[in-house]
Amino acid sequence: MNKPVKYIGLESRVRYEVLESAFFDYLVNGRLDKEKCLSHIMQYTKGENRAGKILKHISVMFAKNEGLIIKISKHLDAVAFSQISHTERKALVFCLFCNSFPITYDVLIGFGQAFKVQSWASKAVIINKMSSFYGSNRAMHIAVGELLSFLIECGFIQRVKVGIYALGPKLGISTKVVSELIIYTEIKLSASKSMTVDELSSKPWFSYYDLSNVSPLSFNILLSKKDSAVGSGYLTI
């Protein structure tokens, strides 16, 4: 019996700049201004059909993360969001996107696993990895192609040459709620109930972030920290 193919739901590239602007407006108004967002999308996209698909992706991100965003906004309002570093804004918005479209997380993990053994990874390797989760179909190929540009824009990977990619500089994180969201995303999308604090330095997901300026001892917004018999304790959502 064939195992069920995971849902993809991603048809068009969403630019980070549009996502960040939409998230800021959401924090200000408590809702997505679809008309303003569509106008922003149209600055980069020709064709109403494609623009409509991108707007749908953005709408899905806010709908699926409504409860999470409410928790985040209690500790990071629109003004505070605009004042944190560019890398932290990227990390926050990117994690919300991953929680809406898990193939984004899976692609990044695929790269992370490859980068642990060599300094570069090919698109072909990622396609092969995604085929095992999503099936070797047109929808998966389209999604991976669109996500590669998105991951480059966010700085997670760099294109060395056509079809070959290297790890980008780590995103420095020092804001508590952002660091918690990064860990929350790993626990949720890896289908784990918890993770040990020691795993912050070993899992592929964390190879993209520098969390050295935050302390898991103070986590209490999106995560709970519990003691363990060995190691430095573990984190749960």
pLDDT in tens, 172-215: 999 999 999 999 999 999 999 899 998 898 899 999 999 999 98
Q: What is the mean pLDDT of residues 117-134?
A: 95
> Which range marks the domain in which residue 53 is found?
16-85
The CA distance from 139 to 22, in Å, is 26
Q: Is residue 179 part of a domain?
A: no
Distance CA 75, CA 210 (A): 21
Handedness of CA 100, 20, 178, 29 (dihedral sign): negative
**Res 5: pLDDT:** 59
- Looking at the predicted structure, is the pLDDT value of residue 120 above 50? yes
> Is residue 205 a part of any domain in this protein?
no
211 and 173 Cβ atoms separated by less than 8 Å: yes
Residue 218 covered by a domain: no
pTM: 0.94
The residue written with tokens 């072909």 in the block is 124
**Total of domains in the chain:** 1
Burial 185-218 (b: 16+ CB within 10 A, else e): bbbbbeeeebbebebbeeebbbbbbebeebebee
pLDDT for residue 1 is more than 50: no
Q: Is residue 98 part of a domain?
A: no
